[in-house]
Amino acid sequence: MIGDLSALLAKYDVAVPRYTSYPAVPHWRDVPDAQTWLAALDDAITPPSSSLAVYVHLPFCETLCTFCGCNTVITRNHDRSEPYVDVVLAELDIYRQGVGRLRERAVSQLHLGGGTPTFLPPAALQKLLSGLSERLPNRSAEYEGSVEVDPRVTTAEHLETMRSHGLTRISLGVQDFDSEVLRMVNRPQPLELTSRLCETARAAGYESINFDLIYGLPAQTPATMARLADQVIELRPDRLAAYSFARVPWIKSAQRKFKDEDVPAAEAKRALYEVLRGRLLAAGYEEIGMDHFALPHDSLARAARQGTLHRNFMGYTDRRTTALLGLGVSAISETPSCYHQNEKVITVYERRVAAGEIPTLRGHLLSSDDRHRADRIRTLMTRGSVAVAPGDFTGAEHALAELIADGIVDVSINELTVTPESKPFLRNVASLFDAYLRQPAHDGPTYSKAI
């Protein structure tokens, strides 16, 4: 039996990674040279059965939402779009030269993220999407193309352009519908705008609509969350993400506008999620992982039921790919043996690509211990239980004993399970497997809070 929930929420509201990778980015130690990184990529896509996902980071936004934790470039100058697309395609050309078999490898997933991909005028998106498919012409049978859009800048022409290039999934940044919450975070976005864009997307043939919501924002209350849930249910997206507001004011200075007392924490924050969760479950949505919901027909819900849910840098996904190639400023790539991130400063990224270089900022070569722990963490985050071996908790015995005493985990001889009421603590449980957190490597705050 889990202990007193409100005491536990306060106790475990500590800084831990979100585990979209293990080790988490602040613990990456290496800057792989180009040869090492290209060899890792080549290795990952060598087996004919391997699958390749491509992520393109499009960083531009017209205005800054003050909660935002993404890598963005705030500008109203849309003329920056086409030159940026040229650099992204040039970056892909560098990879095609360095890894010959990339040209023939089938792409199973393409995701445009940001920033705001639909900041790009339709002509620039057209140039990007045709440039990508000329350079990577093969698509696997299960190919899926998806995009993140900001409803405030997205037109029917954008949707048609992307649909004509095979994109079928669209994710709308919603965050909240409450005008006071949206005012506090500098994101005016009337519900009617989102509702109209859903209709246009469905009419244009998009098969799946996702909403991004955030809980834990200033001015959110259980009453505003109940209203938000009802409004979302009315629009019936196929899936939605309800992200815990990741507060990292030491990295994102705009978040310093919120005082501690403006922002719900621990029990009050979790209560917001629970209001949303209760109404979504009652309306037929299924809870996936720690922060997603999907209707039963949706492939994410099917993957969760079949035990094939996966988690990578893009968050929860319904498919496992062997290699994720990230293009664009700050983009992250992943292979079984190496992580890689591009330069985060756009001018430096552009200059290095123009010089014919892979614009590496940092990376990490995974040891066999890293791979073992990464696999444990991924399984736990996607299934809520994981097989364990002797040695998995060396150095974390005390933390494990506390989690057991608090009723958050059950451990049998070779299996660790998060108890049904303990989903809020999934990140804390995953941190049991994190050997880097136990090293005194970093100073100052690094991660957002777990709850």
Ligand X SMILES: C[S@@+](CC[C@H](N)C(=O)[O-])C[C@H]1O[C@@H](n2cnc3c(N)ncnc32)[C@H](O)[C@@H]1O
For ligand SF4, which is the closer residue by CB, 63 or 308? 63
> What residues does 387 pair with on adjacent strands?
415
Contacts 24+ apart (CB under 8 A), 173-177: 173/116, 173/148, 173/149, 173/212, 174/211, 174/212, 174/213, 174/232, 175/65, 175/67, 175/212, 175/213, 175/214, 175/217, 176/213, 176/214, 176/217, 176/220, 176/224, 176/228, 177/227, 177/228, 177/231, 177/232
- Which DSSP string corresponds to 350-361? HHHHHTT---EE
- Closest-approach residue to ligand X (CB): 173
Answer with the entry of ligand SF4, ligand X, none that 212 interacts with (C-beta below 5 to 8 A by kind).
ligand X
Scanning 97-105, 107-115, 129-137, 225-233 for contacts with ligand X by CB under 6 A, the matching segment is: 107-115
For β-strands 208-215 and 167-175, DSSP reports them as parallel
Identify residue 85 by its one-letter amino acid code. Answer: V
With b for 16 or more beta-carbon neighbours within 10 A and e for fewer, the 306-334 pattern comes to eeebbbbbbebbbbebbbbbbbbbbbbbb
For ligand SF4, which is the closer residue by CB, 114 or 145? 114
Site string for ligand X, 165-184 (x = CB under 6 A): --------x-x---------
Q: How far is the CB of 162 from ligand SF4 (least distance, A)?
A: 17
Answer with the entry of ligand SF4, ligand X, none that 64 interacts with (C-beta below 5 to 8 A by kind).
ligand SF4
For ligand SF4, which is the closer residue by CB, 114 or 424? 114
Scanning 19-27, 110-118, 194-202, 278-286 for contacts with ligand X by CB under 6 A, the matching segment is: 110-118
Asked if 65 is part of the footprint of ligand SF4 (rule: CB under 6 A), the reply reads yes
Give helix then strand counts, H and E, for the chain: 14, 19
- Which DSSP string corresponds to 220-242? --HHHHHHHHHHHHHH--SEEEE
Scanning 41-49, 66-74, 366-374, 429-437 for contacts with ligand SF4 by CB under 6 A, the matching segment is: 66-74
Asked if 61 is part of the footprint of ligand SF4 (rule: CB under 6 A), the reply reads yes
Asked if 68 is part of the footprint of ligand X (rule: CB under 6 A), the reply reads yes
Give the tokens for residue 302.
């099917």
Asked if 72 is part of the footprint of ligand SF4 (rule: CB under 6 A), the reply reads yes
What angle (nearest 5°) sits at the alpha carbon of residue 162, between those of residues 159 and 163?
80
For ligand SF4, which is the closer residue by CB, 50 or 330? 330
Check residue 346 and report its DSSP letter: H
Binding residues for ligand SF4, total number by CB under 6 A: 11
Q: Which of 66, 109, 116, 299 binds ligand X (CB under 6 A)?
A: 116
Answer with the entry of ligand SF4, ligand X, none that 245 interacts with (C-beta below 5 to 8 A by kind).
ligand X
Extract the runs of DSSP E, i.e. beta strands, from 176-281. Answer: 208-215, 239-244
For ligand X, which is the closer residue by CB, 211 or 349? 211
Residues 6+ apart with CB under 8 A from 29: 364
Site string for ligand X, 23-62 (x = CB under 6 A): --------------------------------------x-
- How far apart are alpha carbons 192 and 199 in whole angstroms? 11
Asked if 70 is part of the footprint of ligand X (rule: CB under 6 A), the reply reads yes
Site string for ligand X, 135-154 (x = CB under 6 A): -------------x-x----
Closest by CA to 293, choosing from 191, 209, 222, is: 209
Scanning 63-71, 158-166, 191-199, 384-392 for contacts with ligand SF4 by CB under 6 A, the matching segment is: 63-71
C-beta separation of 273 from 228 below 8 A: no
Q: How far is the CB of 63 from ligand X (least distance, A)?
A: 10
Scanning 14-22, 26-34, 243-251, 322-330 for contacts with ligand X by CB under 6 A, the matching segment is: 243-251
Q: How far is the CB of 73 from ligand SF4 (least distance, A)?
A: 9
C-beta separation of 59 from 120 below 8 A: no
C-beta separation of 291 from 303 below 8 A: no
Site for ligand SF4 in 91-150 (CB under 6 A): 114-116, 150
Q: Which of 23, 113, 145, 326 binds ligand X (CB under 6 A)?
A: 113
First to last CA, the chain: 20
Q: How far is the CB of 215 from ligand X (least distance, A)?
A: 9
- How far apart are alpha carbons 159 and 129 in whole angstroms? 13
Give the tokens for residue 186.
């500098």
What are the residues binding ligand SF4 (CB under 6 A)? 61, 64-65, 68, 70, 72, 114-116, 150, 173
Query: Which residues lie near ligand X (CB under 6 A)?
Result: 61, 67-70, 113-116, 148, 150, 173, 175, 212, 214, 243, 245-246
